C-alpha cells in the first residue's frame, strides 16, 4: 500500500525498466516508457520502453550480420538450440505461466496451457531438417534433372498481440530460425514481461549473437519494421484494422507478409446436440481467457427447439463462473486487459441493448472482493441479438456471448456466412450428416464439430479466412516452413565424354 510520497517515490524507483536484446546484448534504449499493469489490481509491474526506428535498425543490422553464418549452419545443428529451448521452457513453465497471469490476467491454468502450446511449436520446428526438404525429378528431358530446394529468406520479424504473450511468438519464431532465418520479435507493449523472460532462456541456449533479437515498442517500432529494407518477411497477429494496415504497408514495400486479424466466432446449436456437453464447452469458449481469444465463441445461434434449454443452461453456467485474480485458487476467469478495454466492452453491451437485444446475465461493474481496482467484467449473455445489429458484427473481445435464433440449419449456415469474419465456426450436433454439411459449407478457416475452441495443433496451420486473415500462408505447421523459406528450382545437365578417362 502506498501511504505517503516517500513510499510512492520508492515504488517508482524500483519499477523495472525492461530491455531490448540486440546482437546478444541486453540494452536499455533511450525511449519513452509505458507502464505494464497487472489488470487484476492495476498495480504497475514494470516499465516498457517504446523503442524507436533506430532501435529496429540496429536489430535489423545485427540480424543481417548473423544471417550468412546461421544460414550455413546445417538445419540439424540449428534445431539443437530448439531442443535446448524446449527443455528450458519446460523447466520454467510455472514461472512463465505466473508472469502471463500477472501481465495478461488469464488464470494460471490457462497460462500453463498457453505455454504448453508454445512448446509444441518448438517441438514441431525441431522437425525442420525433414520438413524443409525439397523434391526433384530425374530426366525431365533426356539427361536433364530438375531439383527444388528451400532456402531461408533472410531477416524476418514478428509483431504480436496482447492476448497470448507466451504462445503467439512461437507460431513463428522457432520455424523461422530452424529454417535458417534470423529474427526480430516485437511483443505487445501491454504484455512484454513474458518474452523478456523467454529471451533470457533463448540466450541460455547459446544461440549465436544476432540470430534472435527482441525490440520492445509500439507503433513507431512497428512502422520501422514495415519500412525497413533489410527485413524480408513479417508475421503479424492482432486486430483486423491493424492487420490490414500492416499487410498493405509491408506488401507495398515488397515484403512477404502474413497477418492474422480479429474475429466474431459463431457457434450453432442443433436440437440434437448433447446439452450438458454443449453448455460446458460453450461456456469455456465464450468466457475462457475472459473472452479475449481470437477463437472465443461470441455468437451462439440456436436452431429450432434448442433455444429454450440451451439459453437456460448457459444462463446458469455463466452466472456461476468464479471470477477473480488468476493466481487465486479456484478462479475460473480473470480480468480483461485494462480499464479502457473494460469500458469499451461495457459500452458495447449497452449498444447491444439499445439495438434491441435483451440481457440474460449482466456482468457489468462486478464487485470482486479484494480486487476493487481490477478491470473485471463478469460473463454476460445477451439474447434476441438482431443479425444486422452492430453487436452481432463487432468484435467485442471480452466475456460477452450474444444469442440469436433461427429455424433451420440452412438459416444458421447462411447467418455464419453473412459475416465479414472467418476465423472459426462451430457446430454442436449428434448428426454426422449435419456435421458434414456444416464443414463443407461454413466459410471459416477453423471449424469445430462439438468443439468450442477449434485451435489447430502446432502441426496444422492456424487458418483464418476473410477479414480474419490477410495473406496466403498461415502460422504454424507446414505453412510456417513455406513462409520462412523461398523455393529455388535448379535445372541441370552435365556433359561427360565417357570415352575419356579422368
Give the residue numbers annotated as catalytic, written as ranges. 294
Q: Where are the alpha helices (DSSP H) in 324-476?
A: 339-354, 390-393, 409-418, 432-441
Report, in Å, the least distance between residue 223 CB and ligand NAD: 6
C-alpha cell at 292: 479475449
Report, in Å, the least distance between residue 309 CB and ligand NAD: 30
Bridge partner residues of 141 (DSSP): 144
Q: How many residues bind ligand NAD (CB under 6 A)?
A: 28
Q: Does 462 bind ligand NAD (CB under 6 A)?
A: yes
Angstrom CA distances, 178 to 147, 382, 426, stand at: 22, 46, 34
Q: Does 63 bind ligand NAD (CB under 6 A)?
A: no
Q: Does 455 bind ligand NAD (CB under 6 A)?
A: no
Q: Which stretch binds ligand NAD (CB under 6 A): 29-37, 126-134, 154-162, 403-411?
A: 154-162
- Pairing, β 144-152 against β 155-159: unpaired
Burial 339-354 (b: 16+ CB within 10 A, else e): eebbeebbebbeebee
Report, in Å, the least distance between residue 405 CB and ligand NAD: 25
Q: Which stretch binds ligand NAD (CB under 6 A): 24-32, 258-266, 406-414, 485-493?
A: 258-266
CB 438 within 8 A of CB 268: yes
Distance CA(97)–CA(78), nearest Å, equals 27
Nearer to ligand NAD, 182 or 188 (CB): 188
Q: Give, as ranges, the residues between 212 and 251 that touch ligand NAD (CB under 6 A).
A: 218-219, 222, 237-239, 242, 245
Distance CA(170)–CA(240), nearest Å, equals 20
CB 111 within 8 A of CB 164: no
Q: Does 261 bind ligand NAD (CB under 6 A)?
A: yes
Q: Which stretch binds ligand NAD (CB under 6 A): 80-88, 156-164, 269-277, 328-336?
A: 156-164
Nearer to ligand NAD, 379 or 422 (CB): 422
Nearer to ligand NAD, 207 or 246 (CB): 246
Nearer to ligand NAD, 128 or 240 (CB): 240
Nearer to ligand NAD, 331 or 444 (CB): 444
- Interface residue with ligand NAD, options 34, 100, 294, 416 (CB under 6 A): 294
Q: Which stretch binds ligand NAD (CB under 6 A): 160-168, 175-183, 271-279, 400-408?
A: 160-168
Distance CA(365)–CA(230), nearest Å, equals 48
Residue nearest ligand NAD (C-beta atom): 238
Report, in Å, the least distance between residue 249 CB and ligand NAD: 9
Q: Where are the alpha helices (DSSP H) in 320-470?
A: 339-354, 390-393, 409-418, 432-441
Angstrom CA distances, 386 to 330, 345, 402, 408, stand at: 36, 18, 9, 17
Q: Does 275 bind ligand NAD (CB under 6 A)?
A: no
Angstrom CA distances, 481 to 128, 152, 475, 484, stand at: 8, 9, 9, 5
Nearer to ligand NAD, 89 or 259 (CB): 259
What's the start-to-end Cα distance of the chain, in Å? Answer: 86
Q: Does 81 bind ligand NAD (CB under 6 A)?
A: no
Distance CA(361)–CA(316), nearest Å, equals 9
- Interface residue with ligand NAD, options 47, 51, 128, 188 (CB under 6 A): 188
Nearer to ligand NAD, 49 or 180 (CB): 49
Q: Give, as ranges, the residues between 382 and 441 that touch ligand NAD (CB under 6 A).
A: 395, 397, 423
Q: Does 263 bind ligand NAD (CB under 6 A)?
A: yes
Distance CA(106)–CA(438), nearest Å, equals 32
> Footprint of ligand NAD on this chain (CB under 6 A)?
159-164, 186, 188-189, 218-219, 222, 237-239, 242, 245, 260-263, 294, 395, 397, 423, 462, 464, 468
Amino acid at each position: 500500500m502506498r501511504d505517503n510520497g516517500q513510499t510512492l517515490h520508492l515504488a517508482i524507483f524500483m519499477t523495472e525498466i525492461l530491455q531490448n536484446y540486440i546482437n546478444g546484448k541486453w540494452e536499455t534504449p533511450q525511449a519513452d516508457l509505458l507502464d505494464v499493469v497487472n489488470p487484476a489490481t492495476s498495480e504497475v509491474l514494470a516499465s516498457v520502453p517504446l523503442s524507436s526506428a533506430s532501435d529496429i535498425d540496429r536489430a535489423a543490422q545485427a540480424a543481417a550480420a548473423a544471417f550468412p553464418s546461421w544460414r550455413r549452419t546445417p538445419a540439424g545443428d540449428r534445431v539443437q538450440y530448439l531442443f535446448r529451448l524446449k527443455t528450458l521452457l519446460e523447466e520454467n513453465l510455472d514461472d512463465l505461466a505466473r508472469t502471463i497471469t500477472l501481465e495478461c490476467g488469464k488464470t494460471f491454468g490457462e497460462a500453463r496451457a498457453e505455454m504448453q502450446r508454445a512448446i509444441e511449436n518448438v517441438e514441431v520446428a525441431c522437425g525442420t531438417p525433414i520438413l524443409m526438404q525439397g523434391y526433384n525429378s530425374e530426366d525431365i528431358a533426356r539427361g536433364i534433372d530438375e531439383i527444388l530446394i528451400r532456402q531461408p529468406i533472410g531477416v524476418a520479424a514478428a509483431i504480436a498481440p496482447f492476448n497470448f504473450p507466451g504462445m503467439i511468438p512461437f507460431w513463428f519464431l522457432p520455424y523461422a530460425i530452424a529454417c535458417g532465418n534470423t529474427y526480430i520479435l516485437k511483443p505487445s507493449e501491454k504484455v512484454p514481461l513474458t518474452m523478456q523472460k523467454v529471451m533470457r532462456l533463448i540466450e541460455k541456449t547459446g544461440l549465436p549473437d544476432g540470430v534472435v533479437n527482441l525490440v520492445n515498442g509500439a507503433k513507431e517500432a512497428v512502422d520501422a519494421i514495415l519500412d525497413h529494407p533489410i527485413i524480408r518477411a513479417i508475421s503479424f497477429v492482432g486486430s483486423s484494422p491493424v492487420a490490414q494496415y500492416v499487410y498493405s504497408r509491408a506488401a507495398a514495400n515488397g515484403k512477404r507478409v502474413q497477418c492474422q486479424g480479429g474475429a466474431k466466432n459463431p457457434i450453432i446449436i442443433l436440437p440434437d446436440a448433447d446439452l450438458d456437453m454443449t453448455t460446458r464447452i460453450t461456456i469455456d469458449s465464450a468466457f475462457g481467457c475472459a473472452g479475449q481469444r481470437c477463437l472465443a465463441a461470441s455468437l451462439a445461434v440456436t436452431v429450432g427447439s434448442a433455444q429454450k434449454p440451451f439459453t437456460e443452461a448457459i444462463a446458469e453456467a455463466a452466472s456461476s463462473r468464479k471470477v477473480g485474480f488468476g493466481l487465486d485458487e479456484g478462479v475460473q476467469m480473470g480480468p480483461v486487459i485494462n480499464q479502457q478495454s473494460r469500458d469499451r466492452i461495457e459500452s458495447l453491451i449497452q449498444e447491444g441493448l439499445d439495438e434491441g437485444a435483451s440481457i440474460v446475465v449482466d456482468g457489468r461493474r462486478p464487485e470482486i472482493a479484494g480486487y476493487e481496482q481490477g478491470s473485471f467484467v463478469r460473463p454476460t449473455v445477451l439474447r434476441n441479438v438482431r443479425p444486422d445489429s452492430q453487436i452481432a458484427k463487432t468484435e467485442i473481445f471480452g466475456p460477452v456471448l450474444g444469442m440469436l435464433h433461427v429455424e433451420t440449419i440452412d438459416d444458421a449456415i447462411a447467418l455464419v456466412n453473412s459475416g465479414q469474419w472467418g476465423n472459426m465456426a462451430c457446430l454442436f450436433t449428434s448428426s454426422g450428416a449435419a456435421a458434414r454439411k456444416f464443414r463443407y459449407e461454413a466459410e471459416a478457416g477453423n471449424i469445430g464439430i462439438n468443439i468450442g475452441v477449434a485451435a489447430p495443433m502446432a502441426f496444422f496451420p492456424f487458418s483464418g479466412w476473410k477479414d480474419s486473415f490477410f495473406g496466403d500462408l498461415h502460422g504454424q505447421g507446414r505453412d510456417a516452413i513455406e513462409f520462412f523459406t523461398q523455393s529455388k528450382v535448379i535445372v541441370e545437365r552435365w556433359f561427360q565424354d565417357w570415352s575419356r578417362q579422368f
